[in-house]
Structure formats: structure tokens, C-alpha cells
Structure 1
Amino acid sequence: MRMVFRWFGEGNDTVSLDQIKQIPGVEGIVWSLHHVPAGEEWPMEDILAVREQADRAGFHLDVVESVNVHEDIKLGLPSRERYIENYKRTIEKLSRVGVKVICYNFMPVFDWLRTDLRKPMADGSTALFYENSLIADVDPFELVKRIQENSELSMPGWEPERLAHLAELFEAYRGVTAEDMWRNLEHFLNEIVPVAARCGIRMAIHPDDPPWPVFGLPRIITNAASLRRLLSLHDDPANGITLCSGSLGASPDNDIVSMIREFADRIPFAHIRNVRVYENGDFIETSHRTQDGTVDIAGIVEAYREIGFRGYVRPDHGRHLWGEQCRPGYGLYDRALGIMYLWGLWDAYSRGSQPIVK
């Protein structure tokens, strides 16, 4: 596996490239142009600026997360064609700086959803938390307000320009079904996958987070059956998956290990993180350590080792440790600890039963 680390850019991240360089085995940054609104073509000069920063630090830019999909594409509106053309041109530009994987998602309105960004844990750390019953009762507008007030840094998936039109978006999705979303996703893939394939880039969809409908909005990338359907929409290696153990792991019905084995050749990018799921449907993000959550992280790394995985991996969300002030879920310390845990598992499985040579 090839270890990478998500970085939000100079001035938009509490973690520096110099700090990332000190984490063993990290070879690249996972990046995006977070200031570019969804649907707009990425400026080449901005792409080159990030490449220059990465080059100075000795990192590659192989993985982009994310090139956001405009809501008009998800809704299947006539205006989608303009945004799809912008997306194609962005793919072509990214290929010029060596990008190999583009992570994206097809979640309506919210890219992810939590009810508390800093839930206190027993050990004194805090973590992202989802309270199942609260979602059923809370006004989404109040939740958005509370989440935004508790984060000084921009949060991908919760961009101000999108949430400023929240009422209009909810109205636009009124009556939109899961099958409508599937048809619109198929149209999108038929347009962009041939471009990505020609450019040597693999598209990698991220599962819905959490993997079930919220606020009456349909969500379609939630389990193994939906991943099979996705891959069948456009049967090309350029149509792939970002297999996120945390997003899928929020549902106890999902067997991540079996998904890795089934979709082995269609996973160019993996997010590995742990969550603890409670009987009432709540879940909290824990350390990466297997015993601390309900996701079989050890089994997941073992499965990647068994299939000879050579794709990109990043530790996903981490807890907030030792008083660190950081973007929710994206501090330095817990993600660095997570990387070393993943490397430890990988090295142990790679060594197998071979004797230790001194």
C-alpha cells in the first residue's frame, strides 16, 4: 500500500507539510482546490501552485480529494451539461500534473453528517459523533448553524456557497428518488469515465457518510450491492471505489473485509478508520486500533495485504488529542498514530511466519 495524508493547503490547515514529512512512510498528499466552487473548472495556475508546494516538500500529488460534483448533476437538471464539461476539463488538467486518482462522491446536499464535532471521550480526547435520534428530531438548518459555529476552518462538503442555498436545495430534492439518483449518476459516469481513462486517471467514488438516508434525502452508495451496481454502470477500471471503512462501517451490516476481496481490482484508494457503533444507531469515531471500535481494522489491513494491494491509503478522521486545535477530524496527532498502527499491521502480515534475522 502507498501511504498518503490529506492536506487542505497553506492557510487552510493546522498541519504543515514539514510536520507530515516526519510521519514515516508518507509519500504524497491528498489535496483539492477547496476555494473553487463545485461545478467550476479548476484554474491551471492554482493546480500548479499546489504542485510547487508539494514538490518543495518531496510529496507527490497522485490523489485528489475531491473534485466536487455540482448538485445540478446529481439532480439531473439541463444545466448539468455545462458542469460536466467543466469536470472533464478539470480531469484533463489534473492529468498534466500526474494525478492518478480522483475521489468524489454523489451525496445530495451534505457530503457527510455528524451531530457533534467534538464529543468528549472517556480518555479526555474528543471526536466526531453521530447521534441517531437527534437527526430524526433536529431542524437541518439549526444543525448546519451549530456545526458552522463550532469550526473556524472551512469544511469540505459544508461549503458556505452551498449551504447558503440550503432551503432551495431541499426544495429541489423534493420528490427525487434513489432511482433518479442512480440514473443521474450513470449519465455522469458515461460522460466522464472515458475522459478519465484516456487521461490515465481512475475515478473513485466515496461511500455515503453515514450510509443511509438523512433528512429525507436519498443516499445510494451504502453497501456491497450498491457498489456492485456502481461498477456495472460503466465497466471500466477507470470507474472505481474509494473504500472507506469508517463510512461503510457505520452500518453493522457491512462486511468491509469481504468487500476488499470482492472489489480488489476496482479500489485505487482506501480510507482506513475505525468507529464504535452503538445498539441505538449512534456512532463515534475512535482511534484506529481494532479493539477501540467495531470495525475490524486488523482484518481490513490483512485483506489488503492478501490481495497485494498497491493502491493509495490514508488514515481517515482522527480524534483531537492533547489539546490540539485543528479542523474537526483532521488533526496531526491521531492520524499520525493511525498511520503507525496501519504500518505495524502491514509489516506484521508481510513478515508472516518468517524468522527474525539479526
Structure 2
Amino acid sequence: MRMVFRWFGTGNDTIELEHIKQIPGVEGVVWSLHDIPAGEEWPNEKIIEVKKQVEKSGLNIDVVESVNIHEDIKLGLPSRDRYITNYIKTIEKLAQAGVKVICYNFMPVFDWTRTELFKEMDDGSTALFFENEKIKNSDPMKLVDMISRNSSFTMPGWEPERLEHLSKLFEQYKQVTEEDLWSNLQYFLERIIPVAKENDIKMAIHPDDPPWSVFGLPRIITNKQNIQRFLNLVDDPYNGVTLCSGSLGANPDNDVADMVRKFTNRIHFAHIRNVKTYDNGDFIETSHRTEDGTVDIYNVVKSYHETQFSGYVRPDHGRHIWGERSRPGYGLNDRALGIMYIWGLWEAFKKSKSEDSVT
């Protein structure tokens, strides 16, 4: 298991590289060029700039999250070939810089959806929260109109400057079914996986978050059956998964530990975090500790150890604790605690295995 830590870059993150380096066992940062619009080719000079900065701190840039996919690719529009060509050029540049894994997603319009970014918990910490009733059966066009007219009503990711763009996208996706999205994903994979293989970069799709349809938008990377279908679209070791215990765990029907065992050879990146789910469909992100949430993190980590997982792992979203001000879900403190919890489990499994072999 190789531990890495999400970092949004100088000027975009409150966390310093030297602080990340001080977390025991962390080898690298998970990074991206967040100022490059989806679909545009990444400039080589910006890639090299990040590489030099990170490596100077004694960390690596092995994992990128994410090279975002243009909506025209997901929609299957004629313009998608131009954006796929740009994506291929970016893969080639990242390979030259030493990148080993690219995490991406194929979620229409939003990459993740929450209704509250700083929901207060019983202990005074705050966390990302999803209120099902606020989303369920909502008309997105009415929400766009409501936010436009009422600045006090907000939704994460629905900034005023995006509203016109969102309105157009919702209209376009009215004609897109889940099967259409599967077809468009296969078209994309058939173009990029041979390039990834040639450049020794493993592609790792992230599950949909939450793993069900939101605002009527199609979502397909949601459960064990669909992950298997995805892997079969292009059955190649370079076509793999970012297995996120939090995203998949928002649906209690998903057995994440079972998925670890099932897809072990195709998991190129692991996100480990916990969520507490409620019967009404709400969920809130908790500490990584098993007993604080609904996902059996103990068994998830045990499954990675038993399958001798040697890929990249990062703690995913954390709470906001001890007065830290940070990007929603991406503070230093709780994610560092999460790392130590994961390492504690890993060491216990390792020592138990050694003792068993001796006896």
C-alpha cells in the first residue's frame, strides 16, 4: 500500500507541502491542474512546474486526480473527438513527467453532489452532508431559477456564474439515457486505453457520488455489477477503478470489502473514508473509524491487506476539526488522523499474519 494525499496546489489549498510530508508514510500528492478547463490539453510547462515543486518537498506526483472529461464526450456529440485528442496528448505529457495513475470520473454535470458543505455534528466538527429530500424529485431547472432570483439559496457547485451553463447542460442531458452514457463511455475508453497502455499509465475511474441518479441525470458507476460491466467494456489491465469506499458506501447495499476482493487486480487507486447513512437516504461524512459510520472500514482495509494490495491509497474527505479552515472536506487534520487509523489497521493485520506464520 502506497499512501498519498490530495493537494490542490499553491494558491488553491490551505495546506503546505511540508506539512503533508510530515504525515507518517505519505509518499506523494494527488494533484491536478485545476485552472485548465475540461477538454483542454494540459501545458507541459505547468506539469513540469508542479513536478519540480512537489519533488523539491520530497514527495512524488505519481497520481493525478483528475484530468476532467469534457461534457461533449459524455453527451456523445460530434465535437467529442477533438476533446479526446486533447485528452490523449495530456496522457502522453503526464507519462513523460512520471505519472503512473490518472483518476477520473464520468458523472454528467457534477462530479459529486452535497446539499451542505459544513453540517455541524454532535461533537462540534462539521462535515459534508447530503439531504435526500432536498434533491429527491426536485426539478433542476426550478432550482436554477430559484438560485438566480434568491442569493440566499445555494447549492454546492451551483455558483451564480455557472447557472447559465448548468441550464444548457440539463437540457442536453434530457435526451441521454443510461445506455447512451454507457455507449459514450465505451467510445472514450476504446480511444484512450491503448494510449494509456503504450505510455504505462493506468486509468482509474471513480464511482459516482452519490451512487444513484441525481436530478434525473444518468449515473452508471454505482455498484458491483456496473463496475464489472465497466471493466468488460475494454478488458485491459490499464482500464481500472478508483475504488472509493465513501462514494459506494453511501448506498448500504454496496459491500465495499467484497468489491475489493472481487476487483483486486483492477483497482489502481483506493479512496478510503467513512459515511453514516440514514434510512431516509441522507448521509454525512464521518471520521474514518468504523464505529463512527456505516462502512466497515476495518473489513475494507483487511480486504486490501489479504489481497496484498500494493497500489496507491489516500484518505478521502475528512471532517473540519479543531477550528481548521480549509476547502470543504479537504482539511489537513482529520485526513491525517484517517491515515494513521488506516496505518494502524494495516500494521495490526501485518503483525497478525506474521505471528500466524510462525505458529
Could you state the TM-score of these two structures normalised by the residue count of structure 1? 0.94
1:167 is matched with 167
**Preserved CA contact (<8 Å) 1:224 1:254:** yes
Distance 1:38 1:51, change over 3 A: same
The structural deviation recorded for 1:265 is 0.2
Q: Report how many residues are paired.
A: 352
**Preserved CA contact (<8 Å) 1:212 1:222:** yes
Tell me, in whole angstroms, the C-alpha distance in 2 between the residues paired with 1:238 and 1:188: 14
Q: Which runs of 5+ in 1 are unaligned?
A: none
Matched, 1:69 2:63: no
The structural deviation recorded for 1:322 is 1.1
- SS of the residue 1:102 aligns to: strand
| Aligned residue identity for 2:10 | E
Tell me, in whole angstroms, the C-alpha distance in 1 between the residues paired with 2:162 and 2:61: 27
**Preserved CA contact (<8 Å) 1:117 1:147:** no
**Preserved CA contact (<8 Å) 1:117 1:150:** no
Matched, 1:267 2:274: no
Distance 1:117 1:248, change over 3 A: same
Tell me, in whole angstroms, the C-alpha distance in 1 between the residues paired with 2:269 and 2:133: 32
1:233 is matched with 233
Distance 1:150 1:168, change over 3 A: closer
Distance 1:74 1:344, change over 3 A: same
- SS of the residue 2:5 aligns to: strand
Deviations 1:61-115 (A, max 9, x none): 1100000000000000000000000000000000011101000000000110000
4+ residue stretches of structure 1 with deviation over 6 A? 143-151, 158-161
Tell me, in whole angstroms, the C-alpha distance in 2 between the residues paired with 1:250 and 1:300: 15
**Preserved CA contact (<8 Å) 1:103 1:203:** yes
Tell me, in whole angstroms, the C-alpha distance in 1 between the residues paired with 2:214 and 2:71: 16
1:28 is matched with 28
2:301 is matched with 301
CA RMSD of aligned residues (A): 2.1
Tell me, in whole angstroms, the C-alpha distance in 1 between the residues paired with 2:59 and 2:82: 33
Matched, 1:12 2:12: yes
Tell me, in whole angstroms, the C-alpha distance in 2 between the residues paired with 1:189 and 1:161: 32
**Preserved CA contact (<8 Å) 2:66 2:102:** yes
**Preserved CA contact (<8 Å) 1:116 1:147:** no
- SS of the residue 1:33 aligns to: coil
Matched, 1:92 2:92: yes
The structural deviation recorded for 1:140 is 3.9
Q: Which aligned pairs between 1:206-355 and structure 2 lie closer than 5 A? A: 206-352=206-352, 354=354
Tell me, in whole angstroms, the C-alpha distance in 2 between the residues paired with 1:162 and 1:268: 33
**Preserved CA contact (<8 Å) 2:115 2:155:** no
* Percent of paired sites with the same residue: 66
The structural deviation recorded for 1:308 is 0.3
Tell me, in whole angstroms, the C-alpha distance in 1 between the residues paired with 2:338 and 2:280: 27
